[in-house]
Amino acid sequence: MILAILQARLSSSRLPGKVLSPLAGAPMLLRQVERVRRARRLDALVVATSTDPSDDLLEAEMTRAGVAVRRGDLDNVLARFVGVLDTDPADHVVRLTGDCPLSDPEVIDATIARHLETGADYTNNRYDPVGFPKGQDVEVVRAEALRRAARTATTREEREHVTWGIRNAPDAYRLARLDPPVDEGEVRWTVDTPDDYAFVREVFEALYPVDPNFTSEDVRVFLRGRPDLQTFGGDRRL
């Protein structure tokens, strides 16, 4: 059983409410859910948000769209993930964050495949500044390793960043990684700033009406014809 847990909240410090910002006529988080659900190796997907009242609207929007939502501690996100496992048991968890509307289902599947074939406790596809584009981050972790990390967590970093205690303990956990065919680690497709949002909005407005299932290669082809977007906001986008 492989469960995708997509963590999201509305109280982002840099761009509050960003996960519900519109993209091609729907909240950004729903557009990401559409893309993640195309991954063939996932058995289920849950959005994990907080019990803070600021996230009531997020829960309402996801529930209205038929997306499963679980709520937990705002700051202890690791405990929030374990709470999801308590209600939605799984063997492996795919951790995703809700500011990545250009998530790639093929990259998700490839990271899961790497995780399973290596028998690792934890597998990722970015190890800054190398890897797949920022915004296509995928982490796959064995559920028991996640529970163990929660039991032994003592620092704010471990509780806030979910996999911190695993990926920084190579002597305690078996770690693996998926290398990209071409290093695009400096490419920025995530949404943390107004410029990031403006960039992905341009991408969706151009590609989504033509093909809602557009691929990462479609994005690259589009950007090759749009020099004005290739370093939009001062960041590498291609």
pLDDT by residue (tens digit) across 29-41? 999 999 999 999 9
- Asked if the structure places residue 145 within a domain, the reply is yes
Total number of residues shown for the chain: 238
- Asked if the structure places residue 217 within a domain, the reply is no
Distance CA 159, CA 154 (A): 8
What percent of the chain has pLDDT above 90? Answer: 97
* Beta strand 130-131 pairing with 126-127: antiparallel
- Asked if the structure places residue 188 within a domain, the reply is no
Question: Among candidates 132, 150, 133, which has minimal Cα distance to 141?
Answer: 150
Distance CA 23, CA 143 (A): 33
- Domain range holding 85? 2-183
* 89 preceded by a cis bond (ω within 30 of 0): no
Whether residue 82 contacts residue 147, with contact meaning beta carbons closer than 8 Å, is answered with: yes
Using the predicted structure, report yes or no on whether residue 160 has a pLDDT greater than 80. Answer: yes
CATH number assigned to the domain comprising residue 134: 3.90.550.10
The angle that helices 216-224 and 194-207 make with each other, rounded to 10 degrees, is 100
pLDDT at 128: 83
pLDDT at 196: 98
Mean pLDDT of 193-210: 98
End-to-end CA distance of the chain: 35
- Asked if the structure places residue 193 within a domain, the reply is no
- Asked if the structure places residue 215 within a domain, the reply is no
Using the predicted structure, report yes or no on whether residue 13 has a pLDDT greater than 80. Answer: no
Using the predicted structure, report yes or no on whether residue 43 has a pLDDT greater than 80. Answer: yes
Mean pLDDT of 149-157: 96
Question: Among candidates 181, 11, 155, which has minimal Cα distance to 78?
Answer: 155
Mean pLDDT of 175-189: 97
- Asked if the structure places residue 140 within a domain, the reply is yes
- Asked if the structure places residue 237 within a domain, the reply is no
pLDDT at 14: 82
The pLDDT mean for the chain works out to: 97
Mean pLDDT of 48-55: 97
Confidence band, pLDDT 50/70/90 cuts, at residue 12: confident
- Asked if the structure places residue 232 within a domain, the reply is no
pLDDT at 120: 98
Distance CA 202, CA 213 (A): 16
Tally of domains within the chain: 1
